[in-house]
Structure 1
């Protein structure tokens, strides 16, 4: 009677979990909840940015062309809101005779020239208040210096004379260094801050950050070409770009959770497949003749 060799039972087959089963584990559900909170915050930031991308109450067309009192538009020391840049204003006051200063690199209809600027001491202010005024333009430096001298003489002869100025209100262009090789006192930017450093009688003085470009030349000068500013767009494309960025970040927060969960699932499946392969190899080795002989020995 012959006997059949005994074979070891095959190792049990282990079925890996599905991606859905991994995602439903408490650890990944908690991480999903955190990702949803982060995505919600980022989405809210995007909505907030988008709400400021469109101006729902833009200024009426032509509003800058309606002449308004300077005091109603901006206060001394305050910054000028964007919709009011180029606003036509009117202001009255007296000239400070010693403070007519020439500013170069001024263009009138693409022709380079010079402005003559003055310090206007605002009438009716509670405390001494001044604003820089561009009185007019000329293409010649000699004519600009002559005009400044004449304006100084006229103001010095009648220092109490009140003048009315109507022009556009423009923001400070910022300080700058004159080009190399020229007089270091040369001004190439219209900057009330730099003019203030050269004005006289400035103790306890309030000063406007902006200046007025007179639309009617004062003294022996030409009118300053100052067209109406372009109408501002109701859409701020930079804010729209930021809003899109927040939306992308919100989506990335959820994608990151999915990617981490999938990586964990793939690693778990790979580890189970390796374990099964090792178990199968061991089973095959023990069931081979050499393995059986080793077992009998």
Structure 2
């Protein structure tokens, strides 16, 4: 099989496969470094990015590079535009999150809504006598112009709609249907809640939770692709070698079969004439 592998055609194919494998290795390294960079960024203290309007435009997605970082923004809460998100567990306590709508002035004179996670409350504090979560028991947002500071987070995935001021997730696609547009695609989690609200732990969007494993998975996939290219070359060499061995065997069997079919000559019978005896004379 070595003679087959050293043929110019297969040597050229091997060179191409090695180049493809090296490219896969570089891509795998890049994905691995990116995954570890994300882990490093998440382990570091949140960066101060400044005014939200200089960080994120209305409608733009909250990318992993800015998710979890600190932003500031000035605006005014809209009376009546508030929802609560039950079903959370914070430090072992059943909790509800309080989300309010903040109007933010834009540079072109328009105003856009920004969902703000103002904090959380134990579910028992917003549950009525019948055991139902009641949004009316949640403190209203402060009025007037206010400057807030908090972590910028990506929207959670929407799986339902708002029902009576109760939402299943902090999802801007769902909130825009409830409050109107234009609206920022992410939300801000306040660093210092007001009143009786408690500080939310660091939020984790589906995007930031899944990115590390996604990049690590991609790196393993590229390694597998590189190994597949080399396996494909070996498989081609082996298949060619086996085909040639089979052809030689078939030719040999055919040759031996032709030799067996040749007619055989029987040994010549030699007859001798005996000299006449005395009786014949």
- The normalised TM-score by structure 2 is 0.74
The match for 1:104 is 86
Tell me if 1:191 matches 2:174: no
1:289 to 263, 266, 272: 266
2:192 to 191, 213, 216: 216
Shift of residue 142, structure 1, vs aligned partner: 4.2
The answer on whether the counterparts of 1:35 and 1:257 sit within 8 Å (CA) in structure 2 is no
Query: Secondary structure of 1:254's partner?
Result: helix
The match for 1:276 is 255
Matches within 5 A, 1:83-94: 83-94=65-76
The answer on whether the counterparts of 1:105 and 1:189 sit within 8 Å (CA) in structure 2 is no
How many angstroms apart in 2 are the aligned matches of 1:289 and 1:131? 110
The answer on whether the counterparts of 2:126 and 2:137 sit within 8 Å (CA) in structure 1 is no
Tell me if 1:167 matches 2:150: yes
Shift of residue 255, structure 1, vs aligned partner: 0.9
Query: Secondary structure of 2:33's partner?
Result: coil
The answer on whether the counterparts of 2:160 and 2:174 sit within 8 Å (CA) in structure 1 is no
The answer on whether the counterparts of 1:46 and 1:242 sit within 8 Å (CA) in structure 2 is no
How many angstroms apart in 2 are the aligned matches of 1:212 and 1:147? 23
1:65-96 deviations in Å (ceiling 9; x for gaps): 53633234332222222243221221111111
Shift of residue 163, structure 1, vs aligned partner: 0.9
Cα RMSD, aligned residues only: 3.7
1:68 to 50, 55, 62: 50
Shift of residue 100, structure 1, vs aligned partner: 1.3
2:240 to 236, 261, 267: 261
How many angstroms apart in 1 are the aligned matches of 2:11 and 2:236? 6
Matches within 5 A, 1:26-65: 29-30=8-9, 33-34=12-13, 36-37=15-16, 40-55=19-34, 59=41, 62-65=44-47
1:139-191 deviations in Å (ceiling 9; x for gaps): 1324862454x526x53xxxxx211111111111111138xxx9686312111
Q: CA 1:238–1:97 in structure 2 vs 1: closer, same or farther (change >3 Å)?
A: same
**Deviation larger for 104-113 or 55-64:** 55-64
How many angstroms apart in 2 are the aligned matches of 1:32 and 1:136? 66
The answer on whether the counterparts of 1:103 and 1:188 sit within 8 Å (CA) in structure 2 is yes
How many angstroms apart in 1 are the aligned matches of 2:48 and 2:85? 28
How many angstroms apart in 1 are the aligned matches of 2:240 and 2:167? 64
Higher relative contact order (CA 8 A, sep 6+): 1
How many angstroms apart in 1 are the aligned matches of 2:201 and 2:45? 19
Q: Which runs of 5+ in 2 are unaligned?
A: 129-133, 270-281
Shift of residue 109, structure 1, vs aligned partner: 1.7
**Deviation larger for 213-222 or 39-48:** 39-48
How many angstroms apart in 2 are the aligned matches of 1:51 and 1:118? 40
How many angstroms apart in 2 are the aligned matches of 1:19 and 1:114? 70
How many angstroms apart in 2 are the aligned matches of 1:165 and 1:102? 19
Number of corresponding residues: 254
Tell me if 1:141 matches 2:126: yes
Q: CA 1:138–1:196 in structure 2 vs 1: closer, same or farther (change >3 Å)?
A: same
The answer on whether the counterparts of 1:39 and 1:251 sit within 8 Å (CA) in structure 2 is yes
The answer on whether the counterparts of 1:87 and 1:168 sit within 8 Å (CA) in structure 2 is yes
How many angstroms apart in 2 are the aligned matches of 1:217 and 1:19? 73
